Chain A
Amino acid sequence: MSFITYLINGISLGSVYAIIALGYTMVYGIAKMLNFAHGDIIMVGGFTVFTIVTTLGLPPALGILAAVIICTVLGLVIEKIAYRPLRKAASPLAVLITAIGVSYLLQNMALLIFGANTKSFTSVVNFSGLKLADGRINITGETIVTILSCIIIMAGLTFFINKTKAGQAMLAVSEDKGAAQLMGINVNGTIALTFAIGSALAAIAGVLLCSAYPSLTPYTGAMPGIKAFVAAVFGGIGSVPGAMIGGILLGVIEIFSRAYISSQMADAIVFGVLIIVLLVKPTGILGRNIQEKV
């Protein structure tokens, strides 16, 4: 029975990874950059909800709304100030390092405002969850909400990309910026929109993550950010269903490793599986293989 509990917990954690990975993968697909600050947006989302719900005592719904708005605006501002000027830089490393700078900036701003102490986060989910099989399987409310949110986001995003004009523009820009521009697509606007969506998703992921693991520090977002990036690569970076599959697989592997092998080795196992997958399939599970033409 514990196996099923672990599996469900794994899917739940994986859903959080998947939501973060979606942001990563969309931004990578369109701007061809590793947004190292993406994980820290999660942390900003967490602190926003913490401030509104725990400090000010306002309703959680308001907190979530504020988190989404603040993170979206933050994502847009970062893109405009720090990333856009470097889009045509001679080396792709330039924007990577700038992203690292933004990551340091967000972490240290949070450190100044909230201090280094771990904050205990009040869950935004207020129903008690399910007990199945005579209480041997225990599914928390957070788990249910996380998995549901993930399904809804996935469905919504798939619809958005495939059925709306803005979504199609995104696909076009990620395929070929120059051609998209010639077709009259607003490339800058489309990239900004991608950052906005990615950041909004990160805000939601932040709320879900902090509800399930209720401790919050300025560095909360860093490791989940890296793991979500691993998940995105795992599934094939640039692919939306890939991010989903990668995220959930990663979550399940992590929880199982913690439960059955060693909690200290869990991260090593997660990274080890990534390496094996990439060695077998160098562009990830659903990644496209592009060969250089001679």
Chain B
Amino acid sequence: MNSKKMQLNKNLTNNLITYGLVIAAFFVVQGMIWTGKSSSLMQGLLVPLCVYVILAVSLNLTVGILGELSLGHAGFMCVGAFASAFFSKCVQEAIPNSGLRFFLAILIGAAAAGLFGILIGIPVLRLKGDYLAIVTLAFGEIIKNIINVLYIGKDGNGFHFSMKDALSLHMESDGVLIINGAQGITGTPKDSSFIIGVALVLITLWIVLNIIHSRDGRAIMSIRDNRIAAESIGINITKYKLMAFSVSAALAGVAGVLYAHNLSTLTALPKNFGYNMSIMILVFVVLGGIGNIRGSVISAVILTLLPELLRGLNSYRMLIYAIVLIVMMLFNWSPKCIEFRERYSLKRLLKNRNHNKKEAE
């Protein structure tokens, strides 16, 4: 009994460290803003940082906890971003209170992305490994592509849809174009802020960590470790795969809401919602440690700041980023490097020294 209590406490401490880290970082940054020690460049980065942390933590639920490779995470973020921006723009006048409006926008973004997660998850979660990876990548690209040809306008008669151009909406003269194809949505209320971003990071962490340390998390991880055995003890594979996948998608949607309400113009470009973005999030997850939630938070922050810190090096910065990425992967994962590190680790050297000392005595 005691040992179990110890484990619960260990989990609890571990989680508290993660929350504490986020809160501490928040106060440090806020302190810098209050004392005027932060550049505008840095302030511009704060909301995107929260967006990336949420994306990395939520993707880790799919990649690390469920153990399935997804390369379409940006697609879910895209759904959340557009659904919520669409909502906010429609109700901008009806709900003048930005707090309430943003709260509803978050729910809508999460629900829309979660729904897409379920719709996509049902057919594709039967696939395994690299096949699942390519299909999720394909879905992400399709979502981005469709949004780029989507036109939605609103006039006295209600909403009008088209997938051709703005003219074929046939709106009355009072009509407003809300989604304008490749030009996206303009004039989304700028409801995001650093404080809300940090709050959403904490909520995301709360949801993901509590799922992991619950009956459902155990079921999800048992599927990851051995699908056949999980089935043999009565765990519903489809249900739990879908649960992990759709929660992960919904949280990516939340990141999308935060992202969309930080920009005045929202467009679906390869840069922000394409597979490159999905891959970048995957890089955060893998470098932070597969299945390690706190690692995802830290690596998302460092890897987002790294190119900015290297800005002084100008055109060399992405090159350096690439080299750092390769070197870090080799250092962390190559069996030879791991062996080398273990042999010459500081801990071990100290231990050996003590050992030698004792022998000398």
Contact = CB atoms under 8 A, between A and B. Distances in A.
A157 to B, nearest CB: 22
Residue with the greatest number of chain A CB neighbours at <10 A, chosen from B129, B163, B321, B333? B333
Interface in B314-341: 315-316, 318-319, 321-323, 325-326, 329-330, 332-337
A90 B137 CA distance: 24
B335 A89 contact: yes
Given A91-B333, A93-B63, A104-B318, A268 B127 contact: no
Contact of B135 (A91, A264, A278): A278
Contacts of A100: 279, 282-283, 325
A230 interface: yes
B322 A237 contact: no
Contact of A88 (B129, B134, B335): B335
A69 B279 CA distance: 30
Nearest to B164: A262
A274 B287 CA distance: 30
Contacts of A90: 333, 335
Contact of A282 (B131, B141, B142, B148): B131
Interface stretch (A53-61, A105-113, A204-212): A105-113
B286 A268 contact: no
A94 B329 contact: yes
A100 B333 CA distance: 15
A13 B359 CA distance: 73
Nearest to B129: A92
A94 B286 contact: yes
Secondary structure dominating the interface of A: helix
A68 B332 CA distance: 33
Interface residues of B, number: 49
Contacts of A264: 145, 148-149, 182
Contacts, number: 131
Contacts of B326: 82, 98, 101-102, 105
Interface in B185-236: 228
Interface residues of A, number: 47
B302 interface: no
Interface string A155-184: 000000000000000000000000000000
A137 interface: no
Contacts of B123: 275, 279
Given A89-B334, A112-B315, A104 B329 contact: no
Nearest to B126: A282
A34 interface: yes
Interface of B: 63, 69, 123-124, 126-127, 129-131, 133-135, 137-139, 141-142, 145-146, 148-149, 163, 182, 228, 275-276, 279, 282-283, 286-287, 290, 315-316, 318-319, 321-323, 325-326, 329-330, 332-337
5 nearest CB pairs, A to B: A271-B138, A94-B333, A104-B322, A268-B145, A101-B325
